[in-house]
Structure 1
Amino acid sequence: MEHAEFNKDLLKFLNASPTPWHAVATMESRLAAAGFHALNERDDWELKPGTGYYVTRNGSSIVAFRTGNGDVSASGIRMVGAHTDSPCLKVKPNPELRRKGFFQLGVEVYGGVLLNPWFDRDLSLAGRVTYLGEDGEVHDTLVDFRKAVAFIPSLAIHLDREANSSRTVNAQTDLPPVMMQVPDGDTTSFHDLLQRQISEESGEKARKILGYELSFYDASGAAFVGLRDEFIASARLDNLLSCYIGLQALLNTSGDEAALLVCNDHEEVGSVSAEGAQGPFLSAVLDRWCGTGKAKAIAGSMMVSADNAHGIHPNYMDKHDENHGPLLNSGPVIKVNHNQRYATNSRSAAVYRHISDELGLPHQTFVVRSDMGCGSTIGPLTAGNLGVTTLDIGVPQFGMHSIRELIGTEDGYTLFRVLTEFMQRKKIF
């Protein structure tokens, strides 16, 4: 895959994936088109050498792997991990608000959202809906309104003279988006709107809405930005970018060696769930793949936890350690924290640097300032659960956890090239 093709396809992937469920569905479609076989956790598995497989859990997490042509317990597995979720505003179970003729929805803040950028944006709505069908059975379906259906208007500065100096956001009262105006006596419910949307998207008739997991998202699509198109701006770059990179690396490997991609949900809220990185999903897949040779396979394996890094912001340079300020378009960032907020050690970092150097590609290193706290990733959780040697790395970006984020056009492709080589490397260590 060439550089320009990679970035154009990345934009398509981002636009097709407004929620974790849509991201997983998009990945499933691409894996199936490449000849990977779907697995179901309820079935017995008969895995064959030299074959690709994938399995999902909750529709929002996925594990895809190539079995390779050798003994996995001897060869180990070349693993890449990422997460499908992003900070956002999720619709509450009983969300309807009718005030002064405006129809609004109550929302819950999911993850560490940077809230101010959500104001004055064209918002759409997507996610999973569970409903009772005309056949009397319970079904799940994905919905995506695709167009701008809501707006969170700012209060005019004339009514808030301190807005530019001391504005705070109350998540309960300030964030309910405006969806439409309704006349007095209108009884349209949110469930009515969902039933109509299901019918329009799938042609199915929903007798009753039984539940949903829906989130608002920026209706503006991913786009190239900059006088020389040297940046990409999009929602959910953290961490759908890494999901895309890992997927493309897996699809472009030779298939000779055992390789795996895991994309977990719920990283932004701690990863403690049935499908999160602190849950049993990946371990259960490895149990069924490796059998009694799992411990030996893990000992010879390596996990690359790919999650975006903080690029040094030219307006806030003092927020970085003076020797560890990653630049956009200067290479992926090896993330180091000796307090184990990142799982990188000297050996795992050396594996990446060696491959990157062999390919003549750049790389950088990030360490948080010693007087600041450090975020984390699925890396330490996966390393702790499996006992696998792990590297934390990511593409540098601006605006992390904002409704719209920014990366350089070079770094994602660079990481893709290194991870492709890593996934088909005959010997990891």
Structure 2
Amino acid sequence: MRVPARGARAHEFLARCCGCPAAPCILQAAEGFVSFVNDAVSPYHAVAASVERLEAAGFKQLTEREEWHVEPNGRYYVVRNQSAVIAFAVGGAYVPGNGFTVAAAHTDSPCLRVKPVSSLTKSGYLSVGVETYGGGLWYTWLDRDLSVAGRVVVAKPDGTFDSQLVRIRRPILRIPSLAIHLNREVNSDGLKLNAETHLAPVMATVVKSQLEGFAPTSAASAAAAAAPAGTGGAETRHHAALVSLLATELGVEPESVKDFDLCLYDTQPSAIGGIHNEFIFSRTCTGARVYWCACATTRSCMVLNTARIAPCAAFLHLRMQRAWIT
């Protein structure tokens, strides 16, 4: 039996992922990955994008609150906390006691995340306090057109709370570099960043924000100090302009926004590049490439004659992924 070369195996794998019979599907597979990366601007959006693609491939959702009825040749998925998803395909020849073929990845990537209390004001500018998440190359975040994405906890009229995904598609933040005449040694000594003081993105000027009708930061700080611990809306911990923008995007009142978990992301989309279309230009390929390949394989898995279950899992944290595998 002739064993195909490594390149042929890669072509065969990509062909299965995108459903094409031959090597020209490589570009289509790459486009599918780029589309996924552009949708997965936060861990929560990564799960939502995965669910959309799983359902398009015929997977059915299961819930942990109900008894599962899993059948051979079936395809299923389950979501937890909007941040983790497990999909699995049951082989047609599976019987209880057979094994599993497991693939796991993580939905998060190194990024800057909005702090629980983020309102900062300095030198007439409104900034957003952020924290580093993961091991990132933080200098690459400078001078980029940044925005925010994640999930928002909204109070409903009946007294319950709802968690909704949000993505601001236009650039609203920027971390500017220091002008060269204020840092003459940067090209010889390298750029040295303090994560607490140098990475807070600028959002607006104080004057413009007040002219737009938003309370100054001092008033918001006073309201936060007067509010009992654990009470009050998001406007007591974040700039009112940011809370208002999130509320407008979700179609709710700013007072209904109680809390949120937001990641910064670059609004410049990932793309296929190079003169021969052989590269993928992207800032967030860390965990996405592993998960997309695993999920694509699970979606296209031919289970008719398989005697195993093929699960693919994606968790919010990398360590959770490693613990699940071991």
Of 153, 162, 168, which aligns to 1:139? Answer: 162
Aligned counterpart, 2:316: 265
Matched, 1:157 2:180: yes
Matched, 1:182 2:202: no
Unaligned runs of 5+ in 2: 1-17, 19-24, 217-234
Aligned counterpart, 1:213: 261
On the 8 A contact 2:125/2:205 being kept in 1, the answer is yes
SS at match of 1:246: helix
Q: Describe the superposition over 1:89-125 as per-residue Cα deviations: whole angstroms up to 9, x where unpaired.
A: 1001110112222111011111111111111111111
Q: Describe the superposition over 1:253-293 as per-residue Cα deviations: whole angstroms up to 9, x where unpaired.
A: 112332111111111xxx2xxxx33xxxxxxxxxxxxxxxx
Displacement after TM superposition at 1:218 (Å): 1.2
Q: Kindly indicate whether structure 1 or structure 2 has the higher relative contact order, using CA contacts under 8 Å at least 6 residues apart.
A: 2
Q: Counterparts of 1:115 and 1:4 in 2: how far apart (Å)?
A: 31
On the 8 A contact 1:125/1:214 being kept in 2, the answer is yes
Displacement after TM superposition at 1:191 (Å): 6.2
On the 8 A contact 2:63/2:78 being kept in 1, the answer is yes
Report percent identity of matched pairs. Answer: 36
On the 8 A contact 2:118/2:239 being kept in 1, the answer is no
Q: State the aligned residue count.
A: 275
Q: Counterparts of 2:161 and 2:128 in 1: how far apart (Å)?
A: 25
C-alpha RMSD of matched pairs (Å): 2.0
Displacement after TM superposition at 1:199 (Å): 4.5
The within-5 A match list for 1:316-327 is none
TM-score (norm 2): 0.79
SS at match of 2:314: strand
Of 239, 249, 253, which aligns to 2:297? Answer: 249
Unaligned runs of 5+ in 1: 278-377, 385-429
Q: Describe the superposition over 1:221-269 as per-residue Cα deviations: whole angstroms up to 9, x where unpaired.
A: 00122222211011210111122111211111112332111111111xx
On the 8 A contact 1:65/1:259 being kept in 2, the answer is yes
Letter in 2 for 1:246: A
Q: Describe the superposition over 1:359-390 as per-residue Cα deviations: whole angstroms up to 9, x where unpaired.
A: xxxxxxxxxxxxxxxxxxx3xx3443xxxxxx
The within-5 A match list for 1:25-424 is 25-164=48-187, 165-183=189-207, 186-187=214-215, 189=235, 190=238, 192-193=240-241, 195-205=243-253, 207-256=255-304, 257=306, 258-267=309-318, 271=319, 276-277=320-321, 378=322, 381-384=323-326
On the 8 A contact 2:215/2:240 being kept in 1, the answer is no
Displacement after TM superposition at 1:83 (Å): 1.1
On the 8 A contact 2:298/2:310 being kept in 1, the answer is yes
Q: Counterparts of 2:157 and 2:316 in 1: how far apart (Å)?
A: 31
SS at match of 2:286: helix
On the 8 A contact 1:151/1:179 being kept in 2, the answer is yes
Displacement after TM superposition at 1:57 (Å): 1.6
- Given the superposition, is the C-alpha separation of residues 194 and 133 from structure 1 closer, same or farther in structure 2, using an over 3 Å criterion? farther
